[in-house]
Amino acid sequence: MVRRIGVLTGGGDCPGLNAVLRAVVRTAMGRYGWEVIGFRDGYRGLVMNEYVRFKDSDVSGILDKGGTILGTSNRDNPFHFRIDRGNSVEYKDMSERVIDNIYMHGIDCLVIIGGDGTLTSARDFARKGVKVVGVPKTIDNDLSATDLTFGFRTAVDTATDAIDKLHTTAESHHRVMILEVMGRYAGWIALESGIAGGADVILIPEIPYEMQKVCNKILERKRAGKHFSIVVVAEGAKEKGGEMVVSKIVENSPDPVRLGGIGNKVAEEIEKMIGVETRVAVLGHLQRGGRPIPFDRILSTRYGVAAVELISEEKFGMMVSLKGSEMTAVSLEDAVGSLKTVPPDGELVKIAKSVGVSFGD
C-alpha cells in the first residue's frame, strides 16, 4: 500500500513545472491520501537529503508561475556526483545513498520530472529496484516516446512573439533580422515559430543549409520589392559539410556541449556575400522563463495527474506519455536514448516550403 511518495524536478527549468508539481501534490494528497515529499534542486536534494514535506497550501497559486518551486539542477548526476574537497574535486557514485534516503523517508515511489538526462538516471534507479515514475519535460520537444512535452508550446509562443517584433524593425530599416532560438539537436522550436511568425528562411539541424541558397532567397525578395527578410535559426543548425557552432564546453556536465553563435555566423556570411545589413537577436533563456500558456498549464496538469495514477496502478518504471490526444505510458527503458527530430520530408517542412520558406537546401 502506497502511503508516501517523493517528487523532484531535474534538468533545465521549463514553463509548466510548477503546474505538474501542483497536480502531483493535489492528486496524491486529495484523491489518495498520500504524503508527498519534494526534494530540492533535482537529484542533489536526494543525495544531500534536502527536502520539504508538502502541504496543500505549498502548491496554491503556482499554476501560472514559471520555473519550479523545488529548484532544479542539470549538473548533479547521482551516479557520477561531484564532491568538492578543498582544492580538489572527485566524483563518486552516490546512488546507494539516494536509495538509503528514499527508504529512510519511507517513500513508496518517486516521481521524477525531467528530460533525457534526468530520465536516464531514473531508468538506472529503476534497474536498481527503486520504484519510479517519470514525467517528460523539455522545451525542445525532442523526447521520442511522447508526442508533445509541456513547455514547448510556451517556448514557441515566446519565439513567435519575438519574430513579430523583429518584423517591424526589419521592415523599417530594410535589414535582414536573424533570430537564434534554442532546441539543441532538434529544430522544432525554430520550425514552428518560424512558420507561425512568417519567417522567410528557417535553418534547422535536420536540414544542413547552403549559404548561397540562403542569400539567393534574400536577393529574390529584394528583386520582388521586399527589402527586408526574417531568418530563424535553430542553435543546432549547421552548414552542409560543416559542424554545429559550440559556444562553450561545460566539463563534467551530463551534456557538456553548449550550442550557440550560429546566428552571428550566418549574419557575417550574409553581409560578406551580398552586402545586406544584418542584425542578430539571440532569444536564449527567455524561452525557458515566464508564465506557461494555458495549453501548457492543462498539459502539465494532465501529466501530473497521470503520474500519480500510474503509481496507484503500481505501474512502476514507466513514463507518462501523450499519444495523439490520449495520456498513456511507456517504459523508461524505451523512453530514453533516442531523440525525436524534425523529419526533413515531414508535413510541417512541406507546408513551410509551400508558402515560400527557404531551408537553404
Q: Strand locations in the chain, DSSP E?
A: 4-9, 35-39, 51-53, 81-85, 88-92, 109-114, 132-136, 176-181, 201-203, 229-234, 246-249, 257-259, 278-282, 318-323, 326-331
95 and 31 within one domain: yes
Determine the Cα–Cα distance for residues 91 and 180; give it in Å rounded to an integer: 35
Among residues 352, 325, 76, 48, the alpha carbon closest in space to that of 200 is found at 352
| 3-class state of residue 13 by DSSP | coil
Q: Among residues 338, 322, 295, which one has the least CA distance to residue 152?
A: 295
Alpha helices, H only, 106-205: 116-127, 152-173, 188-197
CA angle, corner 156, sides to 155 and 162, nearest 5? 95
Residue 329 domain flag: no
The rounded distance, in Å, linking the Cα atoms of 17 and 88 is 35
**Pair 263, 297 in one domain:** no
Give Cβ neighbours of residue 147 (< 8 Å, ≥ 6 apart).
321, 322, 323, 324
Q: Distance of CA 306 to CAs 67, 300, 310, 314, Å?
A: 21, 10, 6, 12
Mark whether 10 and 136 lie in a shared domain.
Answer: yes
User: Residue 139 sits in a domain of what CATH number?
Assistant: 3.40.50.450
Cell 517528487 -> residue:
7
CATH number of the CATH domain containing 255? 3.40.50.460
| Average pLDDT rounded to a whole number, residues 309-324 | 97
Give Cα 124 distance to the centre of its chain. 21
Q: How far apart are CA 287 and CA 290, in angstroms?
A: 8
Residue 332 lies in a domain: no
Catalytic site residues? 140
Question: Quick check: 254 pLDDT over 70?
Answer: no
Tens of pLDDT, residues 32-42: 999 999 999 99
Q: Is residue 266 part of a domain?
A: yes
How many folded domains does the chain comprise? 2
What is the reported pLDDT for 252?
65
CA atoms within 13 A of residue 221's CA, in its CB half-sphere = 23
Locus of grid cell 502539465? 300
Whether 301 is in a domain gets the answer yes
List of residues 6+ apart from 24 with CB closer than 8 A: 5, 7, 36, 111, 304, 305, 307, 308
In a domain, 193, yes or no: yes
Q: How far is CA 172 from the centre of its chain?
A: 34
Overall average pLDDT of the 89-103 stretch: 94
H/E segment holding residue 46: helix 43-48
CA angle 60, 20, 27 (to 5 degrees): 70
pLDDT for the residue 85: 83
Give the separation between CA 69 and CA 92, rounded to whole angstroms: 28
Please check whether residues 178 and 312 belong to one and the same domain. Answer: no
Residue 338 pLDDT:
86
| 92 and 230 both lie in a single domain | no
Q: What is the CA radius of gyration of the chain?
A: 22
Q: For 122-144, how does the pLDDT look when each residue is reduced to its tens digit (9 = 90+)?
A: 999 999 999 999 999 999 999 98
Question: Do 51 and 134 lie in a common domain?
Answer: yes
Q: For residue 106, is it within any domain? A: yes
pLDDT in tens, 167-186: 999 999 999 999 999 999 99
Let me know whether 121 and 159 are in one domain: no
As a whole number of angstroms, the distance between CA 297 and CA 201 comes to 31
* Residue ranges making up the domain that contains 113: 4-150+292-324
Question: For residue 344, what pLDDT is reported?
Answer: 97
Q: Is the entire prediction scored with pTM above 0.85?
A: yes
347 and 208 belong to one structural domain: yes
Q: Please indicate, yes or no, whether residues 127 and 178 belong to a single structural domain of this protein.
A: no
Residues 181 and 86 in one domain: no
Chain segment 279-291, per-residue pLDDT in tens: 999 999 999 999 9
10 Å Cβ neighbour count for 79?
17
- Which pLDDT band, with edges at 50, 70 and 90, does 253 fall under? low
113 and 8 within one domain: yes
Q: Is the dihedral of CA 114, 143, 316, 127 positive or negative?
A: negative
Lowest mean pLDDT among 46-55, 65-74, 252-261: 252-261
How many whole angstroms separate alpha carbon 265 and alpha carbon 125?
42
Q: Is residue 21 part of a domain?
A: yes
The predicted structure's pLDDT at residue 74:
82
Is 336 domain-assigned? no
β-pair partners for 88 = 85
DSSP state for residue 290 in the 8-state scheme: S
Residues 131 and 119 in one domain: yes
